[in-house]
Structure 1
Amino acid sequence: MSENSHIKVIVGMSGGVDSSVSAYLLKQQGYQVEGLFMKNWEEDDNDEYCAAAEDLKDAQAVCDKLGIELHTVNFAAEYWDNVFEYFLAEYKAGRTPNPDIMCNKEIKFKAFLEFAAQALGADYIATGHYVRREKRGDKFVMCRGLDDNKDQSYFLYTLSHEHIAQTLFPVGDIAKPEVRRIAEEQDLITHDKKDSTGICFIGERKFKDFLQKFLPAQPGKIEDTDGNEVGEHEGLMYHTLGQRKGLLIGGMKEGSGEPWYVVDKDVDRNVLVVGQGKDHPRLYSNGLNANQLHWVDREGPKGTTRCTVKTRYRQEDISCTLLVGEDGMARVLFDEPQKAVTPGQSAVFYADEVCLGGGIIDSVIK
């Protein structure tokens, strides 16, 4: 018998290939494996979005194939209170939030972890995230996933070392093509299922249509960087820094003739500020201020630290100097100016392979 045979692991089954292969690998390693499918969003009956039912069917098929039990749980109330209301509040304030990060914090590594331990008697949970856990001294650290293209540490920076100690990441040291190959070899129905895109509760729907159901749009002026009115917008929440599409002010003769890009949002005046050219100087900043800091080791860097930062997913690492103040704010100075750093998004810090933690971008430093 395997030394793992008395250890119970509950795998978060999403109906995708990564969690399917995670469950398979853990079973191969001799653990007592069961699956848990989380329903986080209640669809309207007349809604075209029924991906959750499809995902549950796929998760069940994989568990049947692997000979493991699948539990289901409804976290829609927790999701609404802790993720969705935050998402709406941020948009209302003119920022651009990342709900996936909040979902990982509040649902996958809080509600799921508690439910698995208390209701299902789990020793560990496991997910299909592309990150690695390593023990350094008496604490666990989170390292980037081996597959650079798929590394998901950016979305998991709110985890603490205690969370990581209780979680297994079976595909973290495997490349994505290999994960698909294993799934195909094991005849798992999810082997060629495409990766989900978009925010979990919106699915493939048009973002603007979805947002309109919950937040009344507030139309306003579009101004250039000199304060001249050049058009009207339907609502600041539909626009993000660096955006070109959907401004409806193309073809204007004045200026350089280059396309217009969103370079700023003046929330107080409800004005969208645009500039011509994708490298407009107003798009660049020399640093950022971040709050709501989370450190994986719970202590975080003190004083001034040299490290790298990502201000969005799949971005090249940016070399920077990090100063953490007594007030719990982080001031980050980039070695070189960076484009379209967006308040509401997360800044995530790294020391080589190790994810240190991060925070929410509050403002940029010009």
Structure 2
Amino acid sequence: MKVRDILSNKGKVAVALSGGLDSSVTCFLLKNQGYDVCAITVKMVDDAKFEQIANNAKKVADKIGIPHYVMDLSKEFKKDVIDYFEESYKKGQTPNPCILCNRTIKWGRLFDFAVDELGCDFVSSGHYARIVDDNGIKKMYPAKDLKKDQQYYLFELDQRHLSRILFPLCDYVKDDIRQIAAQNDLPSKSSKESQDICFITKPMTTKKYITDKFGVKKGDFIFIKTGQKVGSHEGFYQYTIGQRKGIGIAWAEPLYVVKLDAQNNVVYVGTQDDLMQKSLTIHDIKMQYPNDRTEFEALVKIRYNMEAKSAVVKLDYENNTGVITFDEPVASITSGQAAVFYDKQDRHLIGGGWID
């Protein structure tokens, strides 16, 4: 009998380990469930802060008693995620770097390394989502902790990924995870929540990061209903659709950013009703499982932290584009964000695309 068979009859699994709470408990749970577990920490940014991340991850792996690998993907992360992030703002879009990181880093190069180089049967992470087998088709459902559910960020995964993914946190809420870490004295037991944009750390803000990158560029605020100039700004890239704070214009009603003109450095503002739209177009569609329906009803999210809304989805597979028409108008449709659609009956993830 091989050593690996003695260690586990469930198979070998690699966990993307940041050293934080969720990924640490993921390693702990999988080992306790009888898997042959190893951990992989990705170096995304070449700075001193990463050394602390790697050290924290190593302490967790040592505590649990599992092998620990470090992958230096800082050049790839710069090209695939940071450059994309910056270019999106330059074009007047609002990017979603977490989805790109999932596609190219975690479920791209890390996944391939785990399967092809380490010979892993499965790959895991601290994401909150549930994978269910439906007659041989893997589908992604919400996790128990709906406040933490992360299906939205994972819409680009397909059957190749889903067939090898383990998400052990799907049956827990966040308080359970903290309790498990504390009871087992994991080094991450006091870790704080991770931030959305990992390469922009406090006290740096996204606005300051972008302004440092592109400089100050004076432009006009235009009231969209009348075309009237109502103020000045220091660069359209400092704003995003739906933004209310930081506009600094005295008005009878609250003003919001409703449109960005990157070519002319104009920020259009309006009242809340100007934010409302019923339809949008998408490109670069990804489906999580084979699907030949060209028109169907679904629940749709156009950003992570919103309630999914009822809509009709029409897809053009030949051109990889689509049109989504909501039953009722929704606020702040934003170019560069993802529109993700879910089944109306059981809320499993069907697919998604990028908003034009």
Matched with 2:265 is: 270
Match of 1:310 in 2: 301
Structure 1, residues 329-352: CA drift from partner, whole Å, max 9, x if none? Answer: 110110111011111100011013
Give the partner amino acid of 1:140.
K
AA partner of residue 194 (structure 2): S
2:211/2:238 contact within 8 Å kept: no
Amino acid at match of 1:98: N
Kindly indicate which of the two structures has a greater share of residues assigned to helix. 2
Alignment correspondent of 1:180: 178
Q: Is the 8 A contact 1:221 1:271 kept in 2?
A: yes
TM-score (norm 2): 0.93
Among 86, 100, 103, the residue aligned to 2:101: 103
Contact 1:241 1:262 in 2 (8 A): yes
Asked if the contact 1:149/1:314 (under 8 Å) is kept, the reply is: no
C-alpha separation between the residues in 1 aligned to 2:96 and 2:43?
19
Contact 1:140 1:162 in 2 (8 A): no
CA deviation vs aligned residue, 1:245-270 (integer Å, no higher than 9, x gap): 22232x35xxxx22322121123332
> Would the alpha carbon gap of residues 75 and 347 (structure 1) be closer, same or farther in structure 2, given more than 3 Å must change?
same
Residues 308 and 317 of structure 1 are in contact (CA less than 8 Å); yes or no, is this contact kept in structure 2? yes
Q: Does 1:350 align with 2:342?
A: yes
Q: Is the 8 A contact 1:4 1:29 kept in 2?
A: no
8 Å Cα contact 1:51/1:203 also seen in 2: no
Q: Is the 8 A contact 2:130 2:140 kept in 1?
A: yes
Measured against aligned partners, the alpha-carbon deviations of 1:147-190 in whole angstroms (never above 9, x if no partner) come to 10000010000000110111211112211111111111111121
Equivalent-residue separation in structure 2 for 1:34 and 1:100 (angstroms): 23
Matched residue SS, 1:171: helix
1:283-304 deviation digits (Å, cap 9, x = unpaired): 100111111111111x335221
- What is the RMSD of the two structures over their aligned residues, measured on CA atoms? 1.7
Which residue matches 1:247? 247
Q: Report how far residue 219 of structure 1 moved.
A: 2.7
Give yes or no for the alignment of 1:236 onto 2:236: yes
Cα separation, 1, equivalents of 2:314 and 2:6: 48
Candidates 117, 120, 123, aligned match of 1:122: 120
Q: Does structure 2 conserve the Cα–Cα contact (< 8 Å) formed by 1:88 and 1:215?
A: no
- Once residues 275 and 57 of structure 1 are traced to their aligned partners in structure 2, the CA distance between those partners, rounded to angstroms, is 49
1:189 aligned to which of 183, 187, 194: 187
- CA distance in 1 between counterparts of 2:198 and 2:181 reads 23
Preserved CA contact (<8 Å) 2:7 2:36: no
- Give the AA of the match of 1:17: L
User: Cα deviations across residues 220-251 of structure 1 (Å, max 9, x unaligned)?
Assistant: 111112111111111111101121122232x3
Structure-to-structure mapping, 1:1-366, within 5 angstroms: 4-5=8-9, 7-43=11-47, 50-204=48-202, 205-225=204-224, 226-249=226-249, 251-252=250-251, 257-276=252-271, 280-297=272-289, 299-325=290-316, 326-351=318-343, 352-362=346-356
**8 Å contact kept, 1:39–1:75:** yes
Greater CA deviation, 261-270 or 92-101? 261-270
For the 8 Å contact 1:131–1:151, the answer to whether it is kept is yes
Gaps of 5+ in 1: 44-49
TM-score by length of 1: 0.90
Q: Secondary structure at the match of 2:22?
A: helix
Deviation at 1:210, TM superposition (A): 1.6
Partners of 2:58 and 2:7 lie apart in 1 by: 27
CA contact (8 A) 1:219 1:233 kept: yes
Q: Which of structure 1's runs of 4+ aligned residues deviate more than 6 A?
A: none
The one-letter amino acid paired with 1:28 is: N
% identical aligned pairs: 36
Residues 62, 189 of structure 1: 8 Å contact kept: yes
Q: How far off is 1:7 after superposition?
A: 1.6
The 1:121–1:155 alpha-carbon spacing in structure 2 relative to 1, beyond 3 Å, is same
Please state how far the C-alpha of 1:63 moved relative to its aligned partner. Answer: 1.1
* One-letter code aligned to 1:350: Y
1:197, 1:140 → 2: CA distance?
29
Query: Alpha-carbon deviation of 1:2?
Result: 7.6
Larger deviation: 341-350 or 172-181?
172-181
- C-alpha separation in 2, matches of 1:228 and 1:243: 19
